[in-house]
Amino acid sequence: MEVTTRAPGKIILSGEHAVVYGSAAVASAIDLYTSVTIHFPSHIENDGNLKLQLADLALEFSWPIAQVKERLGESDAIKCFEPSSPNSHRATLHSLVEQQNIPEAKIGLASGIEAFLWLYTCIQGYKPATVTVTSQLPLGSGLGSSAAYCVALSAALLTLSSGVNLDMSQKGWQGFEDNELKLVNGWAFEGEKIIHGRPSGIDNTVSTYGNMIKFKSGNLTPIISSLPLRVLITNTKVGRNTKALVAGVSERTKRHPDAMNCVFSAVDSISNELSEIIKSPAPNNLDMTEYEEKIGELMEMNQGLLQCMGVSHATIETVLRTTLKYKLTSKLTGAGGGGCVITLLPTLLSQTVVEKVIAELESCGFQNLTAGIGGKGVRVCFNISS
């Protein structure tokens, strides 16, 4: 029996970091995915191991499942309906990952592997399996790779548990019921906590449900956009991790609580205004420029406030300056500190200009990604024959 799930990455149009403190944020799924395949071995294939293959990185991690059971402790209770945190098991997860000798240059993967072990053992218990992950998302770059990984993993594990009831004979990709999505999102949030420390939940929520959403204090409101927004994504290729950046903002907030609360409150207003504009009736051609200018202006204001929070970076500033030469507005997306920048592409902007901007950004050593905005959330596909 084999199952494959895929979950999308995301861009944040406004509100990253401030959303951790209860401000509103606007995010959209993008059509770049992380996929997870789970294969339970046949009797002949069974070697008693739990394997995690990170196919794009050509890495495989393997644990004798009996050893994982001995270290994490046995429990007969079905846990899949109750997303939970590792708490006292954190040190054990850490040592199970440490024994895998992860290459030093890839040490950022350790928390992702801990999240895997936690989600796997809570939802599936102690069955041998091979879990394979592939991703179209650059890891640790602000496009929600950690959330897409946790969502795809949770969805695949739950599909093969009693937590989800799907038609296994149906061919092709299928979606989940609302109560199933809630469970997938709940477990993915637990995985994000292991990777991020203090996630707001926006990334796992938009990856689970897809489309464009406003997110505030754990609650999502779908945003039906009256017009398709076009953005260019630029990867500065400067590695960073969300956990450290979120911790940096927390330190600054402790040092300057009043000033930072004003910043978060301004971000809240920006996100609320942005979501209202995006939802408003489609403008006619004459008003289009004004509509897009308002969106661009709000993005520019949000970028200024992200600088106040200390999460911009010299490479991000270079992208801003380069795109501004073409009168285009950009802002960092995700946790910042490097990673990705989004640039709003107005409807009337010619393809020639887009190509010039891309060429100039690439000459600085950056990489451009094209992605559709606002697609579906997590999906599943059964491969009955295997």
Ligand X SMILES: Nc1ncnc2c1ncn2[C@@H]1O[C@H](COP(=O)(O)OP(=O)(O)OP(=O)(O)O)[C@@H](O)[C@H]1O
Q: Which is nearer to ligand MEV, 5 or 204 (CB)?
A: 204
Smallest CA-to-CA distance from 3 within 170, 205, 190, 210 is with 170
Among positions 3, 11, 13, 19, the unique one binding ligand MEV when judged by CB under 6 A: 19
> Judged by CB under 6 A, which of 144, 163, 296, 338 binds ligand X?
144
DSSP state of 27: E
Determine, following the binding rule CB under 5 A, whether residue 333 of this chain makes contact with Mg ion: no
**139 contacts ligand X (rule: CB under 6 A):** yes
Q: What tokens were used for 385?
A: 């024959």
Does 135 contact ligand X by CB under 6 A? yes
Q: Shortest gap between Cβ of 141 and ligand X (angstroms)?
A: 5
- Which window, 12-20, 108-116, 122-130, 288-296, contacts ligand MEV (CB under 6 A)? 12-20
Query: Among the candidate windows 15-23, 169-177, 250-258, 321-329, which touches ligand MEV by CB under 6 A?
Result: 15-23
Q: Which of 8, 128, 140, 163 binds ligand X (CB under 6 A)?
A: 140
Q: Which of 47, 76, 203, 268 is catalytic?
A: 203
Binding partner selected for residue 149 from Mg ion, ligand MEV, ligand X, none, CB under the kind-specific 5 to 8 Å limit: ligand X
Q: State yes or no: residue 203 binds ligand MEV (CB under 6 A).
A: yes
Q: Give long-range contacts, CB 8 A cutoff, 24+ apart: 353-358.
A: 353/326, 354/232, 356/326, 357/232, 357/322, 357/323, 357/326, 357/328, 358/232
DSSP 34-71: EEEEEEPPPTTT--SEEEEEEGGGTEEEEEEHHHHHHH
Q: Does 242 sit near ligand X (CB under 6 A)?
A: yes
Judged by CB, which is closer to ligand MEV: 27, or 52?
27
For 68, other C-beta atoms within 10 Å of its C-beta total 19
Distance of CA 269 to the CA centre of its chain: 24
**Residue 200 CB partners (closer than 8 Å, separation 6+):** 19, 20, 25, 215, 218
The Cα–Cα gap between 278 and 196 comes to 29
Residue 86 binds: one of ligand X, ligand MEV, Mg ion, none (C-beta under 5 to 8 A by kind): none
Tokens of 77: 């209770």
Question: Sign of dihedral through CA atoms 53, 54, 58, 60?
Answer: negative
Interactions with ligand X, residue window 273-332 (CB under 6 A)? none
**Cβ-Cβ contacts under 8 Å for 101 (sequence gap 6 or more):** none
Stretch binding ligand X (CB under 6 A), from 83-91, 134-142, 170-178, 317-325: 134-142
Count other C-beta atoms under 10 Å from residue 367's C-beta: 15
- Decide: is 200 part of the binding site for ligand X (CB under 6 A): no
- The answer to whether 242 contacts Mg ion (rule: CB under 5 A) is yes
* Binding letters toward ligand MEV, positions 319-358, x by CB under 6 A: ---------------xx-----------------------
CA pair distance 255, 258, nearest whole angstrom: 9
Is 203 known to be catalytic?
Answer: yes
> Which residues touch 149 (CB under 8 Å, ≥6 apart)?
7, 34, 36, 112, 115, 133, 135, 191
Residues labelled catalytic: 203
Interface residue list for ligand X (CB under 6 A): 34, 54, 108-109, 111-112, 133, 135, 139-147, 149, 195-196, 203, 241-242, 334-335
Interface residue list for Mg ion (CB under 5 A): 146, 242
